[in-house]
Structure 1
Amino acid sequence: KIVSCNEELLRDAHSRIPQSSIRTSLSNCNKLLRFEDISAAAFKIQCGVQKTPCTFSRLSKQYGMDIYLKKEILQYTGSVKERGVLYLLTSLPQDQQRKGVIVASDSNFSLAVAYHASELRIPVFVIMSTSTSPTRVKTCREYGAMVISYGTTSKDSQTHARRLAQENGYLYLEEEDSAVYLSGLGTVGLEVYEQVPKLDAVIFPAGGHCGLLAGSAAALKHLNPHISIIGVESESFPVLQQSLKAGHPTEDQACSNHHFYGDVSGVCFGSNSLQLTGKLVDKVVAVREEDILISMLRLLEYERAMVDAEGAIGLAALVAGKLPELKGKRVAIVICSGNLELHLLQQCIARALTLDNRVCRFSLVLSDSPGDISKLLEILAREETRVLDIKQERMFVTSELFTVQVTCTVETRDKIHTAQLKNALLERYPTTLWMER
């Protein structure tokens, strides 16, 4: 079905928001999300955000389809959230812009608010808990926000921010699914359609508030109803799939690994995003954490792109083999976020190399005689492996006297190379213990 410009895609469910709420209730205006709204947003924010490239990827050959990557990581704050935030801020009344805005989180949304509010000369305050990464606090301050550390949890920060908003007249902002915010995010769909002709499918992250998925789906389905819209979320908290099945937004699910998942593990979306998703999204799939990590590795190696979990989750659907129907098709993937903390990058890449069978560990027992270790190293050199670590244990072993237990960690090219190394070691040392990941 072609969605007409004048057709109502949804009505903002403002009745679900208490009138006493201090949050940004742009949905209270009961405005319709139409294609004209998204077009107007694109025109209004065109000078404030990047029109990011959507380029052909080297990963295409590996996955048997034409893959185009929409690199929203090239936005100034490294996230697609800038689009919705800028349109939201420019839509505020001038009186409210003079008073200022306040947010309470360490998410990409807060970074975008900090930067664009400062650029628009809007006073901006960001409340962060004391457990927030120092790097994230420093970044917010560099963007021009007044950062206040308060409380040990995000709930403490939000409560304090609401109190400050009420006392000082600031507008408390938090990510939601108002028509204004969704229209800004929906501009991604317009650009993808313009940049990649004859598209068959577009893959979006479906975690957090699903605003990018819902808004872009509205734009793309208006322009071409035959384009397949696919959302990808984590198996750890498949909130969208459960909500679509239940017919209403489900309760928030606790995430035990918020530092890794970031915005993907955000609070549940609202009725607007759910209605749009139910009408316009063709398929929603869930992927494992392992698939996301390998996707991060693929993007770093093939595209020189450092992304976080939210940015990698779209490609993870292809890594996991969840979309076989896209073989031979022309597919765009939105890489929406690249704000990965440096201390997490090293851990993620190390784990991904292990999951990809390119870093492995084995243990074997050698006689404690001169030359035995060198013979082992000769085998490793002949098999063209890179030794990352080697340890020798003589005291706490259960083997015979005058033997040594050797544990090696090595790097290989790929799964096939790892199998070749394993066979070579077992042939020379039949008791080799291969440590599974």
Structure 2
Amino acid sequence: MANDYLERILTAHVYDVASETRLDAAPSLSARIHNRVLLKREDMQQVFSFKLRGAYNKMARLHPDVLQQGVVAASAGNHAQGVALAAQKLGCAATIVMPTTTPQIKINAVMAMGAAVLLQGDSYNDAYKYALDLAEEKGAEFIHPYDDPDVIAGQGTIGMEILRQHPKDIHAIFVPIGGGGLISGIAAYVKRLRPTIKVIGVEPVDSDAMHRSLQAGHRVELPQVGLFADGVAVRLVGEETFRLCRELVDEIILVNSDAICAAIKDVFEDTRSIVEPSGALSVAGLKIYAKQKNLMHETLIAIASGANMNFDRLHHVSERAELGEQREAIFAVTIPEEPGSFKKFCNLLGARNVTEFNYRYADSRMAHVFVGVSVRNREESLHLMQILQSNGLKTENLTDNEMAKLHIRHMVGGRSREVSHENLYRFEFPDRPGALMNFLNHMGDRWNISLFHYRNHGADFGRVLVGIQVPPEEKQQFNSFLDKLGYSFWDENNNPTYKLFLV
């Protein structure tokens, strides 16, 4: 039973390393959504995330003889730092296995606390399997990041603090979900003492392992996960965490990357602190839930779970935040190639702020314009689209078009009518030194590359848009090549922005 966790949480050993974090008001966000929003500031722990709670509680309960053999963990970031700090405090050796894609700043942070770091594989799954084998080989204890009762109980002390810090009415607590350890611990405590409080999980739409598992009634392993919110990029949730979530969690909200970027901005505007994408996940879900349920004047609490953000990612976050807040709309507009048409188009935009403008001559009859416009909300963007169309201008709304946002807006103008048999694909590949060249080597020289656009977003994975000339009689071999390539890919041949701006 989940109630068995109450004693575990009340007696958890966390405060040798963790602090009781603040429950801060978010006045600007509260005013905007007409509810009282409070942020549980786990981003202010000494390792900038909640993970040290569970790691330390697990390790502090190990027998001294077990500790003497050392511990092993697999992690790309926050759990690694929690285990390293706990090992330093308890005086035991720690080996952390990290994917080779892990940014150097995270590796350095773990090593600075005295842990040994081994780089293995391109993904967390690769590192995890290697770490399990290593722990068995060394006779060391493996510290699981989420699927362990002592780890769950350690994270559950956050729920204990929330109820102590805010004894008044709480409508709901919003918690990011990766493997499920954090929400399981919080829900186990909160539902035991104040069952009327809703505990709501938040997952990215492309890393929704818990959501799919709860819908299916059993654990579902995702074939791949999105990597923007890397702190929750888990393909398979834990057995124990699934059991607890199935019993205790009220609902799961799914959010996209743009909504997460907007939430990072929300937290910054209220706290002047920058949380990582997974740390803003709960705020993004809170906003969607409040709107869906038409909530007014309720108290809503979001767990700001971490702040281990790579500085290089801030440009991407800033770029997408207005889209996530639905305060920017992106359109492709076709205008007549004749005197006065460009001025007419600008007049139709009115006094709205233009955030981006790309113009490309198409032929003697028409031109295509890629334009970003500041709007108040999605309704205004739809209204503006209707204005443009009613004035005879063919308009495509690209606000939700991932290829347009990632690539096209940065490469408008690359049209060619001389390229034959071109196929367009988006790829993701591990972003580390030499990775781009490795990607090209995999592509080989069998088919000609007719278009290539790459942007570094400061993330662990690079994103590439590639045009490849494939004669029709070789399409079957090409499809077989894609399946064997080992990279995530998306067919973009029917994307409207391709036809408007690139062919």
TM-score (norm 1): 0.77
Give the C-alpha shift of residue 39 in structure 1: 1.5
* Residue range with higher mean Cα deviation, 139-148 or 160-169: 160-169
Q: Contact 2:43–2:50 at 8 Å: present in 1 too? A: yes
Alignment match of 1:399 (pick from 364, 369, 374): 364
Which amino acid is the alignment partner of residue 238 of structure 2?
A: G
Give the C-alpha shift of residue 66 in structure 1: 1.4
Change in Cα spacing, 1:127 to 1:435, as seen in structure 2 (3 Å) is same
CA distance in 2, matches of 1:417, 1:204: 29
Q: Is it true that 1:223 corresponds to 2:193 in the alignment?
A: yes
Q: Contact 2:208–2:254 at 8 Å: present in 1 too? A: no
The residue that corresponds to 1:343 in the other structure is 312
Post-superposition Cα deviations, 1:401-423, rounded to whole Å, max 9, x if no partner, equal xx9x5846455263387689879
TM-score (norm 2): 0.67
Q: Contact 1:52–1:70 at 8 Å: present in 2 too? A: yes
Alignment match of 1:287 (pick from 214, 237, 254): 254
The residue that corresponds to 2:56 in the other structure is 86
Higher relative contact order, chain-length normalized (CA < 8 Å, sep 6+): 1
The residue that corresponds to 1:76 in the other structure is 46
Give the C-alpha shift of residue 325 in structure 1: 6.3
Change in Cα spacing, 1:82 to 1:63, as seen in structure 2 (3 Å) is same
Which amino acid is the alignment partner of residue 15 of structure 2?
A: Q
* Residue range with higher mean Cα deviation, 336-345 or 207-216: 336-345
Give the C-alpha shift of residue 350 in structure 1: 1.6
Structure richer in strand, relative to its length:
2
Change in Cα spacing, 1:407 to 1:123, as seen in structure 2 (3 Å) is same
Alignment match of 2:154 (pick from 184, 207, 210): 184
- In the TM superposition, what are the counterparts of 1:254-403 in structure 2 within 5 Å? 254-257=223-226, 259-281=227-249, 283-289=250-256, 290-321=258-289, 324=293, 326-355=295-324, 356-358=326-328, 360=330, 363=333, 383=351, 385=353, 387-388=355-356, 390-394=357-361, 397-399=362-364
SS in 2 for 1:45: coil
CA distance in 2, matches of 1:432, 1:423: 10
Give the C-alpha shift of residue 342 in structure 1: 3.0
CA distance in 1, matches of 2:48, 2:373: 31
CA distance in 1, matches of 2:359, 2:345: 13
CA distance in 2, matches of 1:294, 1:319: 10
The residue that corresponds to 1:3 in the other structure is none
CA distance in 2, matches of 1:262, 1:225: 31
SS in 1 for 2:229: helix
Which amino acid is the alignment partner of residue 49 of structure 1?
A: A
SS in 1 for 2:134: helix
CA distance in 2, matches of 1:414, 1:291: 15
CA distance in 2, matches of 1:218, 1:341: 32
Give the C-alpha shift of residue 261 in structure 1: 2.8
Post-superposition Cα deviations, 1:344-378, rounded to whole Å, max 9, x if no partner, equal 33223322323423254565658899x998x7999
Structure 1 unpaired stretches of 5+: 1-7, 11-31
Q: Contact 1:205–1:310 at 8 Å: present in 2 too? A: no
Q: Contact 2:148–2:240 at 8 Å: present in 1 too? A: yes
CA distance in 1, matches of 2:152, 2:252: 22
Change in Cα spacing, 1:146 to 1:324, as seen in structure 2 (3 Å) is same
Structure 2 unpaired stretches of 5+: 400-503
Which amino acid is the alignment partner of residue 242 of structure 2?
A: L
The residue that corresponds to 2:128 in the other structure is 158
CA distance in 2, matches of 1:160, 1:240: 24
Alignment match of 1:214 (pick from 159, 179, 184): 184
Q: Contact 1:199–1:331 at 8 Å: present in 2 too? A: no
The residue that corresponds to 2:442 in the other structure is none
Post-superposition Cα deviations, 1:165-194, rounded to whole Å, max 9, x if no partner, equal 333332222224322111111100111111
Give the C-alpha shift of residue 153 in structure 1: 4.2
The residue that corresponds to 2:119 in the other structure is 149
CA distance in 2, matches of 1:208, 1:160: 20
Aligned length: 394
Which amino acid is the alignment partner of residue 352 of structure 1?
A: A
CA distance in 2, matches of 1:272, 1:162: 18
Q: Is it true that 1:436 corresponds to 2:405 in the alignment?
A: no
Q: Contact 2:253–2:289 at 8 Å: present in 1 too? A: no
SS in 1 for 2:169: coil
CA distance in 2, matches of 1:379, 1:140: 56
The residue that corresponds to 1:55 in the other structure is 24
The residue that corresponds to 1:9 in the other structure is 2
Change in Cα spacing, 1:136 to 1:254, as seen in structure 2 (3 Å) is farther
Change in Cα spacing, 1:135 to 1:315, as seen in structure 2 (3 Å) is same
Give the C-alpha shift of residue 54 in structure 1: 0.7
Alignment match of 2:7 (pick from 36, 53, 73): 36
SS in 2 for 1:260: coil
Give the C-alpha shift of residue 49 in structure 1: 0.9
Which amino acid is the alignment partner of residue 414 of structure 1?
A: R
Change in Cα spacing, 1:295 to 1:55, as seen in structure 2 (3 Å) is same
The residue that corresponds to 1:22 in the other structure is none
SS in 2 for 1:334: strand
Change in Cα spacing, 1:226 to 1:151, as seen in structure 2 (3 Å) is closer
Q: Contact 1:198–1:330 at 8 Å: present in 2 too? A: no
Which amino acid is the alignment partner of residue 233 of structure 1?
A: E
CA distance in 2, matches of 1:335, 1:266: 19
Alignment match of 2:106 (pick from 136, 148, 155): 136
Q: Contact 2:209–2:234 at 8 Å: present in 1 too? A: no
Q: Contact 1:127–1:158 at 8 Å: present in 2 too? A: yes
